[in-house]
Structure 1
Amino acid sequence: MTRRSRPILWSIVWLGVAGVCGTVLTLAGSYLYLNPQIPAAQSYLDLRPEAPMRVFTGDGALMAEFGVRRFVPVPLDGVPEDFVNALLDTEDKRFYDHSGIDYISFANDVLQVLMNPSVRTGASTITMQLARNVSFSLEQTFIRKFKEMLLAIKIEQELTKEQILELYINVMFFGKRAYGAQAAALTYYDRPLSELNLAQLAMLAGIVKRPDSGNPISGPDWALNRRNLVLARMLAQGSIDRPAFETARAAPITARLHHREPDLSAPYAAEWVRSELVARYGPDVYNSGYEVHTTIDARLQANANRALRNGLTGYDRRHGYRGPEGRVEDAADLDALVALAQAPDPTDGGAAPAPIPDAEALRDSGPGGEGAVWARALGDLPVVADLWPAAVVRVDERAFEAVTASGARLTVDWDGITWARAYIDVDRRGVRPRAAADVVAPGDIVRVQALDEGGWRLAQVPDIQGAVVALRPESGAVAALVGGYDFWSKQYDHALRAARQPGSGFKPFVYSAALAEGVTPSSIFLDAPLVFEDRHFEKAYRPRNDSGRYNGPTRLREALYRSINLVTMRVLLEVGVDRVLEHAGRFGFDTEGFPRDTQLAIGGGTMAVTPLDMARGYAVIANGGFAVQPHIVKRVVTRDGALVFEPSYPKVRPPEEAAGDGPPPALDGGLTEGAAAPSESLEPPTLAVAPADPAAPRVIDERNVFILHSMLRDVIQRGTGRRARSLERADIAGKTGTTNEAADTWFNGYNDELVASVWVGFSDYRPVGRREYGSTTPLSVWMEFMGAALEGLPEHDRAPPEGVVSVKIDPATGLAAAPDRADAIFEYFFEEAAPDPVARGRAGPVRDVTPEDIF
């Protein structure tokens, strides 16, 4: 060694020593700085991986899932040995030998990161991967890697190898919202882990390397290569033999996406539940794994869905065809469509093709794929309810042929076209079509609907909207709720949020106030014009009846079942606005914004109520006079079944149970004692047994409710709701409602078991048409729903309560009838208000009032 080379050598030595010392000091400093940030490994034994919040009906049907993660835990002894070997042979073959870190691989990682900070490195042990997934981001940095090491050391020191492996198998991400191997098995194969074959287990083991883009759905080619690599490493380690390897490697990809679809379509109800739970617990509830059990009845919900859609599409067809949704305008594309009509149909099996269930798949299935004309024209059009987009390819004299986005072809016969008279306006249609060409042309983008009896019908998405709310009158539990025609196209919930004028549907509450003030069902009011003079108006206000006719002296009962506006106004004037408002508040209405003039009598003016409000009000009539609180959440439990909270609401009790009750409770629903209040923690509280629901308070005299109920029965037996007699039930009652210009139409009805309110109208308050009333579309929807809901259930007659008497009266005078009066009828009265037999033969007083101070 020359004299000149010695200083260079010593410089290299000292630089090496300095580098080692610097590295040691850096590592020591990093340890001292980062170690306090590392949690104790024992805490991960109680780790609660995230899972979606699920919403169920009261009878266990899945309504919805909210959240982005799926988690299904599995104990280590329930994991197939082949899957454990696949993980260890691929990810960490020295798992049982190291103390959490593979130092040789780690040194290589450090060198690569220092030389090129953008490089992505691997070689993490299973323990380090677990540490990263439970605590740190996936960002490739030295600090993250060092923190992984520290936590990996703690994990190895505090947990057994079996605990580490079980935790790893249950928390690793496998793509497609699946966390843990069991969730992955169900997501990709719809079977538990224990039932998968070797090829499928190897596929899952390979996913953890690249879960988002390397799963068999998003990246099938990469996933297949990775699976075969896993199998090769298992063979090399002696975990499988050559025949098993060859068989598994030759197996095709059998993975598909298997998410549990809702058992029932109830998106409006599920959205109500979601908003309540988020308000209580915050957005973390989405991945809490909570199971929310609701009051929804699956059968009734399905009936409500069907009834409303049928009613709205029926209205829409009655008012005419508004034309195609669009056109294929490009000449070349149009020629391609016409040419398609001449080509053999590869999907033709002699019957109309079945609807394709996944709109996302339409672009890629069928002949032509996403480049086909029909796919380009239809691919972005969603399926709305059960109405499918299709492009017309051929028009015959009395039929037309269309193609869906998948390339499936169908034929719409004349019976499915003849309804399509051209829409002119809400009250007028064009002439009936004589040929299919009067309605459609090649290139039209239309909607088609599959018929229950087979075949297809030309359709269109209804412009009209509607809502159905059904609840149990004894408790206020919501049994069914539909807030519009199709949630996925218009998510506005008309059942809960659309405050509209109730029209004549509010009249029963005015009449109930009159009964409370001594008016009887036989009281005579004058049905004649009213004129209101007021200096604030340019001209006098002259309300009228919908029919435009006047009936002269009219009994109160008849005025209700015939829905006579002017009699109801006179009733309001006699009873007084303040008294009616106070009385209506007993039915649960917030009357602060209600009008203080004669519009109150007919549900007009500034009055605005939701279908849920109306159902709540009619529930008081249905249950005999008790106030109940509408609600949808029955209880919330963890995925292990531990009770989180259970709301408590007033419930109508039999007289013998309610006799010893104290003061009536408040109407707002409260939580059971000890239930979780809104907080940052989603840990379930420890609860005692939930107390029984409190007794609902009586708010209306049972005699009043009984007589009002008998009057509302007459609405169906002889009044505006008489079409419902076809249900052949004597225990149903209700009231139609139609506002001025028919912007809102209603039917609210009930029996002792169920209350249902139906609203139909346009979202922008347009009139629905001069021949549309509460007795048309809303009543049709109500009849279809209630007919199915009450099928097979026995009828329950109401007996008059104590203090109600039945007296034979003269229908012309409202007074007690003479013994020889042939047309005498029976009427109910409060015992103290029954007509005096002495007054027989004298004309009863006709109530006519002066509308002073009403405005």
Structure 2
Amino acid sequence: MRFGLFALWASFCGLFTIVLCLSGMYLYLDPKSPDVETYRTYQLEQPLRIFSAEGALLAEFGDRRLIPVAIEDVPKLYLDAVVSTEDKRFFHHQGIDWISLANDALDLLFTDGVKRGASTITMQLPRNIADLSREQTFVRKFREMLLAIKIERELTKDEILELYINIVPFGKHSYGVQAAAYTYYGKPVHELNLAQLAMLAGLPKRPEAGNPINGPEWALDRRNLVLRRMRDTGAILQEQYEEASQTPITARVHRRELDLYAPYPAEIVRQEVIERFGHEAYSGYSVHTTIDVDHQQAAQDAVRNELEAFDRRRGYRGPERRISVSDEIEDIQVLFVRELANESEVGSMLPAIVLSVDEQSIEVVLADGQVPTVKWEGLKWARKSFGDSGVGRSPQSAYEIVEIGNLVRVRQEDGNWVLVQVPEIQGSIVAANPRTGAITAMVGGYSFGVNQYNHASQLQRQPGSGFKPFVYTAALANGVTPATVFLDAPLVYNDDLLETAYRPRNFSGTYNGPTRVREALYRSINLVSIRVLEQVGADSARDFVTRFGFAKEELPNNTQLAIGGGTITVSPLEMVAAYSVIANGGYQIEPHLIAKVVNQDGDTLYQPAIPVVCTSCGYEDTGFDHSDWSNSDSYQFEHSTQSQNINLAASQVLDERLAFLVDSMLRDVIRQGTGRGALALERNDLAGKTGTTDRAVDTWFNGFQQNLVASSWVGYTSQRALGESEFGSRSPLSIWVEFMRTALTDVPEFVPEPPNGIVSVKIDPATGHIAQSDLDSAITEYFLAESAPIADSVRTSSDTHVLSPEELF
């Protein structure tokens, strides 16, 4: 009797202790557990996607690939597979399967090392949503049980199951069954067969090590286990089980390929969106940009091809590294393949290791074990590079170029393998619509994988002569005309702060005597530019050129302003904005990449209000057919996204007559000056200016057609000199020409007509005065009406007066 009372008392005390402990744990853990509303409103994490103006996919950012799917769109067989495998009493418990929990407790007590978990589908939600630790501890399990009970009270079974199938990991960065279906089978879940559905149902157990790519044997066993449980629960028939269990693995990795890989503009867009929206951007946001796919592809091809051509001119620098080969190694090919496992491709350039060398060819091994032969045609270009000192003689045999064990780069060109190397030189180009500021193309370097620095937007370098048009515009606004003659002759500046006198010079080292302003610009004559600046005044010129978007405090107040030197530093993107003022007739625009940001439901979250040149402003008719545009898909997209906003009018910062005069002078740069390489495009409506800094550290070409402005730059990130034979008229102009060749396809030619207030006068090219009536060499020049020369009488050639230097300056 006394023992029975003691046992009853002990049982009561034990039960009380358990209840007290559980209550204490509840009070401790409940405040730390996420609110159930977290699960009802859980935002599925999806990649941030960047699209072109046409809707082409340019980039995806985010570790998780997740495609939401409603439960009614998921095959019942898959739901049956999940429930049969993960939680067969799912529809009968209230969050905790007490039967499974009791069985596991007994197994844990009486069977050493057995840990099955007993987690229901509902209990698995917290670890995938609330990021609970996956370590098998009692505290974590209790929290899961606590949250499961809460969830079951607030959500229906279908809501719980739908959330589960959308968030669990399946490996290969895919989360949720729809993303997994596309990742492994390349199609939506409702198109999968029974064997494939069973395979997916089993993956959340070991999503990385046990998926059909990384662990095919385990995945096959797991799939067949799922099928057996489906058969045992009556979800499928024996015949279905037998057929599906005999089906081989058909999974392989399917990724949505980018329509165009455009990392430089995509990264700028990503940073801007993250700055604005934070981590919320990774919840399925899509960004529609201003990038034109054809323009972007043309820009990427132009930069890559020219930088490789430049690099070849500098010779072959040798292998990237050497792999030592011991005589004791029997199969060096196996060793080389192992070494290549950690090497990355750079564009189309594949890493390879030289396996054998013959007189006129080499054999290399690739990372996949292939052994292609590089013949002499693909080798003979490789003259030895001596850096800034030049290149050696042409090689006579392959032995002079490489040796066994050299890590090199190769690629296929026209079906043949060639030796290549990753260029050290960098380059960039950026293009925009001068009326809207919409950036249509941006390339910030040779390879984003090698160097993420964006030389189109982040670069700050001296613009050289590319800055002269802005100084000349200031001069034209202050009484100078395109026909004004200045003396091209040496100048000397004495400064007590300098050890020696400053003697600016022309790049050619020659002098031309009396020279008209127009000629001085298209021939890029430094000494005339300096004399023009001195007549206008450096401070006055600094004030004026701020109209093009430059900060006055960053501009030198001396002769360096005239030749784009000194403290002036700009990016290609800033040069595009500045040249757009000339191209559009005098209006300041804002280059931009983002057209709009939408969420996964298609709601517009952000759409910048961008100043644009109004349709009746600047050059009204550039040959662009607006009726065709308004009926296009692109117009419908832009119109629908902009209809909710008021377009801002771009500010007029320049008299359109000045814009016309400078435009006409820059067209002469193409026709007969340093930009003659652009004549290859066979158009009369191109304008631009080369730029080459001291020692050719930076080389530029900035140019436009009235519908498109583009700036290209070539140089070394380390600011090394390019060499005496490199100018803005070489590599940068080549990039610009190749880009424009594609970008201006089907764009009608447009040469602006002189606006009101511009007069044309026949002048003597030698003096800049009104031409004599019998002068055969007379040319037409444009003037502001108030600055045009006035003929006091009709003169003949016998009246010619020779100007003295004092009269010229």
TM (normalized to structure 2)?
0.92
- Aligned AA (2:519): E
- Aligned AA (1:393): L
Partner of 1:500: 461
In 1, the alpha carbon distance for the partners of 2:437 and 2:25 equals: 62
The answer to whether the 8 Å contact 1:269/1:481 transfers is yes
Partner of 2:440: 479
CA distance 1:820–1:469, shift in 2 (3 Å): same
- Aligned AA (2:676): R
Partner of 2:471: 510
In 2, the alpha carbon distance for the partners of 1:69 and 1:86 equals: 24
- Aligned AA (1:421): R
1:760 paired to 2:691: no
1:46 paired to 2:41: yes
User: After the TM superposition, which residues 551-700 of structure 1 pair with which residues of structure 2 at under 5 Å, given as runs?
Assistant: 551-655=512-616, 690-700=644-654
What CA deviation, in whole Å up to 9, does each residue of 1:547-591 have, x standing for no partner?
A: 111000000000000000110011111111111111211101123
Partner of 2:164: 168
- Aligned AA (1:739): T
1:826 paired to 2:790: no
CA distance 1:437–1:715, shift in 2 (3 Å): same
The answer to whether the 8 Å contact 1:333/1:373 transfers is no
Partner of 1:542: 503
In 2, the alpha carbon distance for the partners of 1:240 and 1:694 equals: 64
Q: How many residues align structurally?
A: 784
Residue 472 of structure 1, CA deviation: 1.0
Partner of 1:159: 155
CA distance 1:492–1:40, shift in 2 (3 Å): closer
1:445 paired to 2:407: yes
1:772 paired to 2:726: yes
Partner of 1:362: none
What CA deviation, in whole Å up to 9, does each residue of 1:116-172 have, x standing for no partner?
A: 999854222222223443335134333333333333233333333222222222222
Residue 629 of structure 1, CA deviation: 0.9
3-state SS, counterpart of residue 253 of structure 1: coil
CA distance 1:501–1:275, shift in 2 (3 Å): same
1:430 paired to 2:430: no
Partner of 1:357: none
Residue 798 of structure 1, CA deviation: 0.5
- Aligned AA (2:771): A
The answer to whether the 8 Å contact 1:42/1:159 transfers is no
In 2, the alpha carbon distance for the partners of 1:439 and 1:769 equals: 24
CA distance 1:393–1:208, shift in 2 (3 Å): closer
In 2, the alpha carbon distance for the partners of 1:397 and 1:39 equals: 72
In 2, the alpha carbon distance for the partners of 1:375 and 1:728 equals: 50
- Aligned AA (1:141): T
In 2, the alpha carbon distance for the partners of 1:12 and 1:213 equals: 51
1:18 paired to 2:19: no
1:702 paired to 2:639: no
3-state SS, counterpart of residue 355 of structure 2: strand
Residue 39 of structure 1, CA deviation: 5.7
Residue 45 of structure 1, CA deviation: 3.4
Q: Please, which of 192, 200, 204 is the counterpart of residue 200 of structure 2?
A: 204
Residue 377 of structure 1, CA deviation: 3.3
In 2, the alpha carbon distance for the partners of 1:616 and 1:247 equals: 66
1:524 paired to 2:478: no
In 1, the alpha carbon distance for the partners of 2:802 and 2:7 equals: 124
Partner of 2:355: 393
The answer to whether the 8 Å contact 2:619/2:752 transfers is no
Partner of 1:195: 191
- Aligned AA (1:799): E
Partner of 1:60: 55
The answer to whether the 8 Å contact 1:427/1:770 transfers is no
Q: Please, which of 253, 258, 265 is the counterpart of residue 262 of structure 1?
A: 258
Residue 614 of structure 1, CA deviation: 1.0
1:421 paired to 2:383: yes
The answer to which of 235-244 and 529-538 deviates more is 235-244
What CA deviation, in whole Å up to 9, does each residue of 1:11-53 have, x standing for no partner?
A: 4442222111222233344445555665664653332211111
Partner of 1:403: 365
- Aligned AA (1:128): M
The answer to which of 438-447 and 565-574 deviates more is 438-447
In 1, the alpha carbon distance for the partners of 2:706 and 2:619 equals: 19
CA distance 1:119–1:570, shift in 2 (3 Å): farther
Residue 96 of structure 1, CA deviation: 2.1
Partner of 1:355: none
- Aligned AA (2:375): D
- Percentage of matched positions with identical amino acids: 53
CA distance 1:847–1:705, shift in 2 (3 Å): farther
The answer to whether the 8 Å contact 2:482/2:782 transfers is yes
Partner of 2:632: none
Residue 418 of structure 1, CA deviation: 2.2
CA distance 1:333–1:374, shift in 2 (3 Å): farther
3-state SS, counterpart of residue 332 of structure 1: coil
The answer to whether the 8 Å contact 1:198/1:248 transfers is yes
The answer to whether the 8 Å contact 1:309/1:485 transfers is yes
Partner of 2:231: 235
3-state SS, counterpart of residue 588 of structure 2: coil
What CA deviation, in whole Å up to 9, does each residue of 1:328-354 have, x standing for no partner?
A: 3223388745xx7xxxxxxxxxxxxxx
3-state SS, counterpart of residue 448 of structure 1: strand
3-state SS, counterpart of residue 647 of structure 1: coil
The answer to whether the 8 Å contact 1:395/1:441 transfers is yes
What CA deviation, in whole Å up to 9, does each residue of 1:449-505 have, x standing for no partner?
A: 321x32122211111111111111111111111111111111111111110111111
Q: Please, which of 121, 130, 144 is the counterpart of residue 135 of structure 1?
A: 130
- Aligned AA (1:568): S
TM (normalized to structure 1)?
0.87
The answer to which of 243-252 and 642-651 deviates more is 243-252
Q: Please, which of 738, 742, 745 is the counterpart of residue 699 of structure 2?
A: 745
- Aligned AA (2:187): R
Residue 688 of structure 1, CA deviation: 11
In 2, the alpha carbon distance for the partners of 1:92 and 1:720 equals: 76
3-state SS, counterpart of residue 552 of structure 2: coil
- Aligned AA (2:176): G
What CA deviation, in whole Å up to 9, does each residue of 1:338-386 have, x standing for no partner?
A: xx7xxxxxxxxxxxxxxxxxxxxxxxxxxxxxxx122133222221122
The answer to which of 561-570 and 97-106 deviates more is 97-106
Residue 8 of structure 1, CA deviation: 5.5
3-state SS, counterpart of residue 553 of structure 2: coil
What CA deviation, in whole Å up to 9, does each residue of 1:710-739 have, x standing for no partner?
A: 000011100011011011011111011001
Partner of 2:304: 309
Partner of 2:626: none
Q: Please, which of 63, 78, 83 is the counterpart of residue 88 of structure 1?
A: 83
- Aligned AA (1:821): L
- Aligned AA (1:561): Y
Residue 845 of structure 1, CA deviation: 6.2
Residue 69 of structure 1, CA deviation: 1.6
CA distance 1:32–1:766, shift in 2 (3 Å): closer
1:185 paired to 2:181: yes
In 1, the alpha carbon distance for the partners of 2:320 and 2:69 equals: 51
The answer to whether the 8 Å contact 1:525/1:846 transfers is no
Q: Please, which of 293, 296, 299 is the counterpart of residue 294 of structure 2?
A: 299
The answer to which of 595-604 and 18-27 deviates more is 18-27
In 1, the alpha carbon distance for the partners of 2:144 and 2:335 equals: 53
Partner of 1:676: none
Partner of 2:630: none
CA distance 1:590–1:179, shift in 2 (3 Å): same
Residue 426 of structure 1, CA deviation: 2.5
3-state SS, counterpart of residue 426 of structure 1: helix
In 2, the alpha carbon distance for the partners of 1:622 and 1:515 equals: 17
Residue 210 of structure 1, CA deviation: 2.5
- Aligned AA (2:599): T
3-state SS, counterpart of residue 342 of structure 2: coil
Partner of 1:364: none
3-state SS, counterpart of residue 170 of structure 2: coil
The answer to which of 131-140 and 788-797 deviates more is 131-140
1:814 paired to 2:775: no
The answer to whether the 8 Å contact 1:574/1:849 transfers is no
The answer to whether the 8 Å contact 1:427/1:769 transfers is no
In 2, the alpha carbon distance for the partners of 1:174 and 1:519 equals: 72
The answer to whether the 8 Å contact 1:178/1:184 transfers is yes
